[in-house]
Structure 1
Amino acid sequence: MEILMNIAPQPANSNRVCEPTPRSSELHTKRTEDNVSAEMARIITDSATGKCYCRGKVLGKGGFAKCYEMTDLSTSKVYAAKIIPHTRVSKPHQREKIDREIELHRMLHHKHIVHFYHHFEDKDNIYILLEYCSRRSLAHILKTRKVLTEPEVRYYLRQIVSGLKYLHEQEILHRDLKLGNFFVSESMELKVGDFGLAAKLEPVGSRRKTICGTPNYLSPEVLNKEGHGCESDIWALGCVMYTMLLGRPPFETTNLKETYRCIREARYSLPSSLSLQAKQLIGSLLAKTPEDRPHLDHILRHEFFTQGFVPERLPASCCHSAPEFHISSPAKSFFKKAAAALFGGKRDKVKYYETLNKLTKEEEEIYKLRNDLKKTVISQQQNKQQAEDTLSALPSAGIPVAPVTEGQAPTARDTIRLIVRGSLGSCSSSSECLEDNSTCCVAESVASVFRGCLENMPQADDIPQGPGCGTLQWVTKWVDYSNKYGFGYQLSDHTVGVLFNNGTHMSLLPDRKTIHYYAELGQCSVFPTTEVPEHFVAQVTVLKYFAHYMEENLMDGGDLVSMSDTHLPRLYLLQWLKSDRALMMLFNDGTFQVNFYHDHTKIILCTQRDEYMLTYINEDRVSTTFRLSALLASGCPSDLRQRMEYSLNMLTQRCN
């Protein structure tokens, strides 16, 4: 079932400027209409067809009408019904406006245009039955989300352009493109709607010069009364793109006069957070001179679309939370780049895009990389001495245990040291621990620290004051493509790593010139990207595409400052585990991170200056770092304790 919400919340300065303002003599009429609408019949009959409809809840309000949910009692089909009281269109020019909207909209048939079904009237109202969109509008989504990711913006813009191109081919100008007029169906398809201000395209010399639309989206030529053309809709499209990416219109100010001045001068800011391709496309769409703006056919060929990931579908969860895009979804953009690099050489891009739907065989070839990666197989067994040598290198191993006088209670610092020291005992081997005993020992070492802390930590309401994060390394982005290749991630120092399905690991260092390869725990091979050994070419290719994908499509996961410190040990992933609630990652030096999906909170445990530190990134992406010994002494709130307990369960599950 597909749904339309006709009215949506708008930012400041967003009301239409060409709607009539009620005069004082009309106020009584308006109050009367409000009373009438409250008493409006629940069952409405179309006298021409005999059909009966049940009026439901209010979906929105407009200048002339209210929009209601309305159900056909004979078929149970649900519509969005625009109900316009005759009293609101009593003047000839008002009625002409409604008739023009009906006549224009009923002729439109396109999958990205809100469908017009039927209209009728009785002695009180005019009824227009439209497609019903359950996900409401982009304005509602943005109000909840604040900003959208670039892949989402590409997804929505592609559909808007499709619908707008159809309108322009019919020589129709929308003249009021804004987030509140883009409706989203049950299946997350976008529909362009609300044709109350739409008009037929006139010859250049006869174009309409009325200032008409929503203030924040008006083009310079409309404000200057130079006439409406297709270029004005393109300008509004640029405003829409900007608003989706940054959460506010490009020309919004606290003063309408200043907003108009900014529009006339095409003066706006482009934050550094936007990608270069996004900045370039917005700049072309918001060109001051109409002739300088791109044609609709050229927009989708811009690098913002061709060089970035465009999802085929969006989950309904995108209405309230940011999606996490993974390569494991059918991402054609990844396949066409990887296949071109691995099998096509310098294949012509245009030709490649044209044959995108014929990539099935080439995709199968890419899948075969997994078998190629098995050429290097890690040892199934590690001798006990090697495990002990590896563990002795962990920072926690060097922490001395302070002597405790007989009869004296150990301090919190003593307790944590005892916990850490006790965690370095032997461990049992497990085939689930990436086929490596030493990996399991690292996991059990970290688990002992968590367990000891939770067993000795008192309850508390507040998180203790932290000393700061220092040079913490943590995972800022990740991609699960283990159904084919492995698990990829990016560290805060911009190192990109992939733990391949065969157990080997490869890291691309921040300089993007050096690769570290680990066939076994602690055994590293180093080579430059310009001199890749032949038997590593396939893995390096996949590594580079993981790096490119995360750079282009994924956001960092918190406010911790990304930093590079050449004195820090090189981290590489030993094991990872996903549950229905969280993602766990364990690294070679004992750094342990858990990302919780539902609220995007994170826990990171690591060692700094021979002391365990715990960092908590809350749902607002704000981080707090403190000594684990402080938790032992002061405790922590229940929500953090619960996350720590869940993290411990994931960690112990991996080696049980």
Structure 2
Amino acid sequence: MNKSKFTQKNVVRSCTLSSTHQNPILLMLNPNTKFIDIMKLIQIVWRQNADQLRLFLCDGTEIEETDLINIKKGTHLFALLKNEEKDLMNLKLGYDIIKRIGEGGQALVFLGKHKVTNELVAIKKVSAATQQDQALEMLEQESLILKQLDHQNIVKLYEKFVCSESKEVILIMEYLHGGQLLAQANSQLTEVQAKHFSNQIVDAIAYCHERKIVHCDLKLENIMLSTPSQKSIKIIDFGVSNYFGQPFDKDNILGTLSYLAPEVLSTSYKFIQPGQDVWAIGCIIYGLVFGKLPFEGNSPSETYRNILSCNYQIPKKSVSKELMHLLSIIFVANPKERANIFDIQSHRWLNEHAKILKLNINGINIRIGRSSSVVKMHSTRKSNDEDYGQVISQRKIACSRRSVTRLDKISFVVKYK
């Protein structure tokens, strides 16, 4: 936490302290308050003994004991409590491991079952001994953020355990077995079906943005179906998520190139902003409707150039005016001019039964991009048979899951400039 210019040396301040599954309590901070004093209060009010206490602001900034003097009246603090012995006992007594269902990197994923409720869960074990510090920080960030989120279309993190003896981090998460939404993204999916999935995605991200959280790696691979028979989705993988306004690492771009917004690839981008999620949602909607990604080129350099110039095409198929307008207000290079998630949430394509038009292409290729798309959408209202365009790229979405890609921005720009 950055120290403020002023300290509350002689002031008693009333703050709110909350924690997972606990009612908020009033915390009175005086100039001599220490963590041990807060832990004693927690023991009395919440009846919890903790071996370790960590405090966070609402934006995710961690508070050290020396920072308590700078906390202002009315501040809301979030407490993360750790009792390792009790946690491990709860894990052993609470769950049975049925079988291993996946692995990746240093993580193993098991199918587990709660011994009392019989609820199926995914148990993810990560070896802390072989992980780099940055990877562990991302895991900690993911668990902290997921603990704050409770939405029907976001994967749930039930519990997190840290075992210092075996040097493992164990996450108990909601079990999803319907497969990736990527499998649904093909040219046979209708707009109505695509709209069903898109509404759920937009609602979930609007919920996140209300809480100042940016996912930062939205893509079809990070959206799962709850079950094979249901059409409800869950957004997963908050490993690189962050809060509005947090510093952006210019040396490493976290995400997947085909879904990255133009500003993220710019050397002038300094802070995490929600517009990058909106851009990625546009790519997801486009992928669901057309079965391919809007800026995907035959090479990374072509994809890179397409993103920076907002160069996307509308394939040869029936499409609604409402969808065209929605894409035109999402794929805008300047994030300040781009629609926000609440504009998308209230857009008529997601809320009305859109009229599907037959495109009359007649062999004409028209580029649909930032500079012309809004003008073209206004002109389509004058005529239902106006020509739009054919797709240039024949690339299809890769059907294999892509992990988070780290791109060195400087070398990438030089290489593909």
What residue is the counterpart of 2:288 in the other structure? Answer: 244
* Matches for 1:18-167 after TM superposition, within 5 Å: 47-49=88-90, 50-89=92-131, 91-122=132-163, 123=166, 125-142=168-185, 147-167=188-208
Matched residue, 2:237: 194
List gaps (5 residues or longer) in structure 1.
1-44, 310-332, 334-550, 552-656
Q: 1:195 to 1:124 in 2, by over 3 A?
A: same
- Which residue of the partner structure matches residue 344 of structure 2? 299
CA separation in 1, counterparts of 2:283 and 2:136?
31
- Does the Cα contact within 8 Å between 2:98 and 2:112 map onto a contact in 1? yes
Residues 545-582 of structure 1: per-residue CA shift (max 9 Å, x gap): xxxxxx9xxxxxxxxxxxxxxxxxxxxxxxxxxxxxxx
Query: 2: CA distance between counterparts of 1:59 and 1:153?
Result: 29
Task: For residue 72 of structure 1, report the CA deviation from its aligned partner.
Answer: 2.4
Specify whether residues 118 and 156 from structure 1 end up closer, same or farther in structure 2 by C-alpha distance, changes over 3 A only.
Answer: same
Shift in CA distance, 295/129, structure 1 to aligned 2, threshold 3 Å = same
User: 1:61–1:266: structure 2 CA closer, same or farther, 3 Å change rule?
Assistant: farther
The secondary structure found in structure 2 opposite 1:284 is helix
Cα pair 1:172 1:198 within 8 Å, conserved = yes
Q: 1:234 aligns with which of 273, 278, 283?
A: 278
Distance 1:231 1:63, change over 3 A: farther
Aligned to 2:254, the other structure's residue is in SS state coil
Q: Tell me, in whole angstroms, the C-alpha distance in 1 between the residues paired with 2:145 and 2:345.
A: 27
Give the CA RMSD over aligned residues.
Answer: 2.6
Aligned length: 263
Residues 229 and 147 of structure 1: is their aligned pair in 2 closer, same or farther, counting only changes over 3 Å?
farther
List aligned pairs for 1:134-533, cutoff 5 A: 134-142=177-185, 147-186=188-227, 187-202=230-245, 206-209=247-250, 210-225=252-267, 226-227=269-270, 228-273=272-317, 274-308=319-353
Q: Output one character per residue of 1:13-49: Cα deviation in whole Å (capped at 9) or x when no partner.
A: xxxxxxxxxxxxxxxxxxxxxxxxxxxxxxxx96232
Give the percent of matched residue pairs that are identical in Structure 1 and Structure 2. 29
1:239–1:52 distance in 2 versus 1, CA, 3 Å = same
Quote the offset at 1:266 in angstroms.
1.1
Q: Judging changes above 3 Å, is the alpha-carbon distance between structure 1 residues 265 and 118 closer, same or farther for their aligned structure 2 residues?
A: same
1:184 Cα deviation from its structure 2 partner: 1.9
Query: Which residue identity lines up with residue 94 of structure 1 in the other structure?
Result: A
TM-score, normalised by the number of residues in structure 2: 0.58
Offset of residue 262 of structure 1:
1.1
Q: Once the 2 structures are TM-superposed, how far is the Cα of residue 253 of structure 1 from its aligned partner?
A: 2.0
Amino acid aligned to 1:159: Q
| 1:194 counterpart SS class | coil
- In structure 2, C-alpha distance between the alignment counterparts of 1:182 and 1:272, rounded to whole Å: 27
Determine the structure 2 residue equivalent to 1:536.
none
Cα deviation, residue 53, structure 1? 3.1
Q: Deviations over 1:501-536 (max 9, x none)?
A: xxxxxxxxxxxxxxxxxxxxxxxxxxxxxxxxxxxx
Kindly indicate whether the alpha-carbon contact (under 8 Å) linking 1:69 and 1:79 is maintained by their aligned counterparts in 2: yes
Q: Structure 1 residues 220 and 63 mapped into 2: Cα distance closer, same or farther (>3 Å)?
A: farther
1:124 positional shift: 5.0
- In the TM superposition, residue 160 of structure 1 has moved relative to its aligned partner by 0.9
Distance 2:326 2:102 in 1: 33
Q: How far does residue 236 in structure 1 lie from its aligned partner after superposition?
A: 0.3
Structure 2 counterparts to residues 613-652 of structure 1, below 5 A: none
Per the alignment, in what secondary structure is the counterpart of residue 163 of structure 1? helix
TM-score (norm 1): 0.38
Deviation at 1:110, TM superposition (A): 1.4
Query: 8 Å contact 1:154–1:305 — kept in the other structure?
Result: yes
Matches of 2:105 and 2:257, distance apart in 1: 15
Contact 2:322 2:348 in 1 (8 A): yes
For the structure 1 residues 232 and 271, does the alpha-carbon distance in structure 2 shift closer, same or farther, using more than 3 Å as the test? same
| Rg larger in structure | 1
Contact 2:109 2:122 in 1 (8 A): yes
SS in 1 for 2:195: helix
Amino acid at match of 1:75: T
Distance 2:100 2:321 in 1: 42
Letter in 2 for 1:252: E
Shift of 1:165: 0.8
Q: From the superposition, tell whether residues 63 and 219 of structure 1 become closer, same or farther in structure 2 (CA, over 3 Å).
A: farther
Q: Are the equivalent residues in 1 in contact too, given 2:184–2:288 (CA < 8 A)?
A: no
Per-residue deviation, 1:93: 2.7
Give how far 1:138 is off.
Answer: 0.6
For 1:223 and 1:197, locate their aligned partners in 2 and report how far apart those are by CA, in whole Å: 16
Instruction: Please tell me whether the aligned partners of residues 213 and 244 of structure 2 are also in contact (alpha carbons under 8 angstroms).
Output: yes
Deviation at 1:261, TM superposition (A): 1.3
Q: Report SS of the residue matched to 2:89.
A: coil
Indicate conservation of the 8 Å contact 1:201/1:207, yes or no: no
- Describe the shift of the 1:98–1:307 C-alpha distance in structure 2 as closer, same or farther (beyond 3 A): closer
Change (3 A) 1:101 1:298: same
| Mapped contact 2:282–2:330 kept (Cα < 8 A) | yes
Using the TM superposition, give the Cα deviation of residue 248 of structure 1 relative to its aligned residue in structure 2, in angstroms. 1.3
Contact 2:197 2:231 in 1 (8 A): no
